[in-house]
Amino acid sequence: MMGAKQAVAPSPRVARIRNPATIRARAGQIFAAGIAGDLANFTLDLSKLDIAADLTVDTIRGDYPSLDIPYHSRWRHFDVGGIDRWARLLPDIGTDAMERARSAIDLAVTSVLLDAGAGPAWSYRTGDGTFVRSEGLAVASFDLFAAGAFSAGASPLRADAHALSAFEAGRLAAGLQVSAGNPLVGLDGRAALIRKLGSGISRRPDIFGTPARIGNLADRLSQLAIDGRLSAATILATLLDGFEDVWPARVVVDGVNVGDVGRHPMADEGLVPFHKLSQWLAYSLLEPLEWLGLQITDLDALTGLPEYRNGGLFLDTGVLALRDPDAVHRAHPADGELVVEWRALTVVLLDRIADLVRRRLGVTAAVFPLAKVLQGGTWTAGRRIAAMRRPGGGPPLRVDSDGTIF
């Protein structure tokens, strides 16, 4: 295939940057500096972590009184309004388990990549209701998928490299009902990311097949499973490898674009990996892979997601405080030191709050993994306290993001 890459084992440095254990270790170095009072942008007050934990537990008990919590993933947004939209598509996909998994992964990946912040003025209207923010983008991208917007084949319910590579902003604007009276932040950037996704997967036939299709990840990950067991870290590593060319090349290590990695002088190598969107994708693939009969192991190897709802929970409850209070009035670059510190501290604090939440609920990590704490959970608690603190419920800090970090 023209332009195809050879599958090569990553260098030790790249493999280390892609390992979620490194996310925790490097974030831990930033956290230790914060505890010592040595960070340039934040101070910590861990006595206030109980406030954040209580708010999270109250949220969990209110939304999931039985504590039967699904994974934190894109699939929760597809069900907004209590509607099982995926079930509507199954008769057209058929009964073959592998094809259902492929189609589910096609849907999840394209939808996640369209899920940058929508802005406060945009909404999406359907016969099921009117939806905004992440839920609105989920329903809109679901409808685009169902209409065959990403398909190059006879079946509309797939996402093929050829169609993705040719995806235009006009098609996206029409599908998302964008107009002068219904503006969406970053329309052109979203369409460009979808095109980059198409060209990126076309260069990796070892993962996405020939012709390339996102859903062929189901076949590749099934091959990597051992006796029907697949580790969460393997899912993440495969996504980071397969989508290497999709992310902006902020940091290059040994000639490889390592994606969502920040720079900070207090971390080893000066680099702090986060891989937030890739981990969000990994969480969103768990259910399709389990439907295929695979058992996902070591789920808590993945970290909490360092984005503005989780990070906002800690700022809004006073666990974190800005050294410069006027920083709330400025927009900050996504790869700047302040945002890197905020995200690193969020990773560590999510692990700490997870322990507090489990103790309050009387559950173990085995039955209540981090993916449930996030869903139950910290993300919703962060959204709710934001709505109480600020009109429109925006984040406590403004970040200039291209949609691949926040």
pLDDT digits (tens, 9 = 90+) for 228-257: 999 999 999 999 999 998 888 889 999 999
pLDDT of residue 104: 98
Q: What is the pLDDT of residues 76-127, one digit of tens each?
A: 999 999 999 999 999 999 999 999 999 999 999 999 999 877 778 899 999 9
Q: Would the pLDDT of 403 be above 70?
A: no
pLDDT of residue 222: 97
Q: Would the pLDDT of 29 be above 90?
A: yes
Q: Which of 221, 214, 254, 249 is nearest to 235 (CA)?
A: 221
Q: What band does 9 get if pLDDT is binned at 50, 70 and 90? A: confident
pLDDT of residue 1: 44
Termini Cα distance of the chain: 34
pLDDT of residue 8: 74
pLDDT of residue 205: 96
Q: What band does 169 get if pLDDT is binned at 50, 70 and 90? A: very high
Helices (H), 292-336: 308-316
Q: Would the pLDDT of 2 be above 50?
A: no
**Phi, psi for residue 137 in degrees, rounded to 5:** -65, -35
pLDDT of residue 31: 98
Q: Would the pLDDT of 5 be above 90?
A: no
Q: What band does 402 get if pLDDT is binned at 50, 70 and 90? A: low
* Alpha carbons 273 and 261: distance in angstroms, whole number: 4
pTM of the predicted structure, to 2 decimals: 0.92
294-326 burial by CB neighbour count: b if 16+ within 10 A, else e?
A: bebeebbbbbbbbbbbbbbbbbbbebbebeeee
Q: How far is CA 283 from the centre of its chain?
A: 8
* Alpha carbons 382 and 306: distance in angstroms, whole number: 12
Q: Would the pLDDT of 16 be above 90?
A: yes
The owner of tokens 């998994």 is 101
Q: What is the pLDDT of residues 153-164, one digit of tens each?
A: 889 999 999 999
- What residue spans define the domains of the chain? 12-400
CB 203 within 8 A of CB 3: yes
Q: Would the pLDDT of 185 be above 90?
A: no
